[in-house]
Amino acid sequence: MMASRLAHLMLSIAFIAAVASGCGTTAPSRFYTLDATAVADSATPVDVAVMVGPVSIPAAIDRPEFVVQTAPTRVDIDEFNRWAAPLSDNIAQAVAGNLVRLLGTQKVAAAPIANFDPAYRVTIDVQRFDSVPGQAAVFEAVWVVHSTASGKAGGETRSGRTVDREAVQGGGFDALAAAHSQALAKMSGAIAAAIRAEAEEQR
């Protein structure tokens, strides 16, 4: 009788421990990146060096987690879906990758590099980066192309504003990241056109 009660008690303890262990298990986090998705056209390559950055982003989205828009005045922070790198760095790298394709040059960097002397520096001020799951990625930014040529160091040469709303092709966070990548590709196209025009003027 005593052995039976002891066995029952041990089973109960094991069950409670298993339940407690299960309750402490959390879903694994998933990490996402922004990609260079611009498609090169048949335009003549522009052999100039370009530095992308700095990129400034709103404080509300300057965090590792996805910030999703759930209502006009409400957002949720998703703890389990995160950016693989700081969003400002991710944007700079995606734009740099796009410019490599659009300008037809490998001389594009998203961070300072030793012995890299850019002819142009691109600064980006992101003003909206809204993620609406299953619906759209809304993007708005002001960008400036600065010339580092003699007499124009740090000077503004060309600027523009990109406003875009990309439909999300699916309900997952990977679809949201892809939609934001498409918006960055459109902005990159405008930046590439500005660099081409400025390069033509300086010839």
Q: pLDDT, tens digit, for every residue of 41-82?
A: 888 899 999 999 999 999 999 999 999 999 988 999 999 999
Q: CB of 82 within 8 A of CB of 66?
A: yes
**pTM confidence score:** 0.84
How high does pLDDT run on average in the chain?
Answer: 87
Q: How far apart are CA 33 and CA 36, in angstroms?
A: 10
> pLDDT grade, residue 177 (50/70/90)?
very high
Helix (H) or strand (E) holding 12, with range, is helix 2-23
Q: What are phi and psi of 149, to 5 degrees?
A: -65, 160
- Identify the sign of the CA torsion 70, 78, 95, 114: positive
pLDDT at 2 over 80: no
pLDDT at 151 over 80: no
β-bridge mates for residue 141, sequence order: 126, 162
